[in-house]
Structure 1
Amino acid sequence: MNNELIKVTVKNDQQLVSARDLYKGLGIKRRFSAWWEQNSDGFEENSDFTSVLISTEVQNNGGVQVRELQDYALTIDMAKQLCLLSRTKRGKEYREYLIEIEKKWNDPQNVIQRAMDILHSENLQLKLENKSLSRQLEESNKKASYLDVILGTTDAMLTTQIAMDYGYSAREFNKLLHRMKIQHKVNGQWILYKAYMGKKYTTTKMYSYTDKHGKDHAKPLTAWTQRGRRLIYDVLKVNDVLPLIEREDIA
């Protein structure tokens, strides 16, 4: 059993051999197609054998050309029966070889090992699928959590607070919203563009402060409502700008 008479492959936990390899090994003199047509009668396709195409290189006008040849993948049982039909010494030798191959395949220890290999492969695939699903759920939860924060907040928020969610300073974030055509500056205050006005996206908060001379002042600042924060989220997301908790590059 050290010398391989014919190559045996495994597909779907079934041993198979090439009809052309068997044909060559048996030393058949007739054309392969004629031999196959006569000897395959009585066998069932997709049960005893399956039709396959193989590629081979042939010399053509001084060069090499690749041709496709018709072949068949045979079960070990069918291959043994074809060996019997040959009624030759080589047929007997190949049949005995295939019987030994089959015995080894059906050895209880090998059966158990194959079962364990299949189980391991299925478990590995399941782990990969679960890992992928967990990642999707994690990303989904991240997105939901940020929207939950928005929807769960009733108080208007200053741009500085929202900017922190995206990793920006208030100045940078205001410029970003300007580039996105959401707001523009009028008399030192950021105002929504006309397309967004009157839709309760913003409100005004008065910011009180004392100057260096001790005088009290009040300055109007734009604050974003819950609806406005959702607008920012949707517009920025379309432009691939995400809050920190949704960014994949941040753990």
Structure 2
Amino acid sequence: MANEVIKVQTTKQGEQRVSARELYKALEIAKTYRFNDWFKTNSKLFNSGMDFTSVVATTVVNNGATRQLDDYMMTIDMAKHIAMMSGTPKGHDIRNYFIQVEKQWNSPELMMARSLEYANKQLLGYESQIAVMKPKVEMHDKFIATGKAISIREAAKEMDVKQTTFIDDLLNHHYLYRAGHRGKLQPYAQYVGKWFVLKSVVVNGSALEVTPQTLITTKGREHFYKLFYAPDQIELNV
């Protein structure tokens, strides 16, 4: 805005705010009224967190060092009210300045510009979310496309993780255990039928030794993928 008297800042929520210290300085009352006393008196009718928020300002002192000062970011309405309460020609001018700021802020052109900016931010957010979710959705589709129970080795390959890593995760989370002297991977009984199925295979033809092979179902692979490798994935209906 041309002839800026006091800097007006816009918050992330799209609200206009001004510094209490800048208003205090613009009203030219520093010689008769300390800032802290002035703000305490003039803020009695307003609500902290709604009409103003506490912030920290910085200033450079004579030796070049930076000094921190208490400040407050006020709404335009609060700033107008305080300027009017000052009862001085300077306060009247500043109040009129804030009125012009509000008129410009609420002009159709700026309102449209803000709406477009908000829409663009929302679109970018959706696109980012889609980009993040796309590999996970594709993995879900892959599980569904396979449509059958497969071996642990095949499941690890499908999830693009090392077989040893996948097995360790299943063992550490007590979905599988090692059975018999061969240490064959077997699922705990409560998980058979839902996430695992057992298929009998002959492991020693001459002795006709039959040992069940553990296969992982479509639901099981999707469950383990989300649990171990995509914990932020949305729940999928399976």
Q: TM-score range, shorter-chain basis?
A: 0.5 to 0.7
In the alignment of these two chains, the number of paired residues is 192
Quickly say closer, same or farther: Cα 1:140–1:70, change in 2 above 3 A. Answer: farther
What secondary structure, in the 3-state scheme, does the structure 1 residue paired with 2:65 have? strand
CA contact (8 A) 1:51 1:70 kept: no
Letter in 2 for 1:140: H
Cα distance in 2 for residues equivalent to 1:75 and 1:120: 26
CA contact (8 A) 1:53 1:71 kept: yes
**Corresponding residue for 2:183?**
195
Structure whose alpha-carbon radius of gyration is higher: 1
**Corresponding residue for 2:175?**
none
CA deviations over 1:44-78 (Å, ceiling 9, x no partner): 3333x222221425659x683553x3322211111
Quickly say closer, same or farther: Cα 1:203–1:31, change in 2 above 3 A. Answer: same
CA deviations over 1:148-196 (Å, ceiling 9, x no partner): 4435xxxxx9xxxx78x959xxxxx9xx9xxx9xxxxxxxxxxx96222
What secondary structure, in the 3-state scheme, does the structure 2 residue paired with 1:93 have? helix
What secondary structure, in the 3-state scheme, does the structure 2 residue paired with 1:120 have? helix
More displaced 10-residue stretch of structure 1: 5-14 or 124-133: 124-133
**RMSD over equivalenced CA pairs, Å:** 4.4
Alignment partner for residue 40 of structure 1, among 26, 43, 46? 43
Letter in 1 for 2:37: A
2:31 pairs with 1:31 = no
CA contact (8 A) 1:5 1:97 kept: yes
User: How far off is 1:87 after superposition?
Assistant: 2.2
Q: Percent identity?
A: 27
**Which consecutive aligned stretches of 4+ in structure 1 deviate over 4 angstroms post-superposition?**
57-60, 143-146, 197-202
Cα distance in 1 for residues equivalent to 2:214 and 2:21: 72
Cα distance in 1 for residues equivalent to 2:112 and 2:186: 73
Alignment partner for residue 52 of structure 1, among 46, 51, 54? 54
**Corresponding residue for 2:171?**
none
Quickly say closer, same or farther: Cα 1:50–1:193, change in 2 above 3 A. Answer: farther
**Corresponding residue for 1:14?**
15
What secondary structure, in the 3-state scheme, does the structure 2 residue paired with 1:56 have? strand
Letter in 2 for 1:43: F
Cα distance in 1 for residues equivalent to 2:84 and 2:48: 20
What secondary structure, in the 3-state scheme, does the structure 2 residue paired with 1:52 have? strand
What secondary structure, in the 3-state scheme, does the structure 2 residue paired with 1:4 have? coil
Normalised TM-score (structure 1):
0.58
Normalised TM-score (structure 2):
0.60
CA contact (8 A) 2:18 2:74 kept: yes
Quickly say closer, same or farther: Cα 1:131–1:76, change in 2 above 3 A. Answer: same
Cα distance in 2 for residues equivalent to 1:197 and 1:91: 82
CA contact (8 A) 2:52 2:72 kept: yes
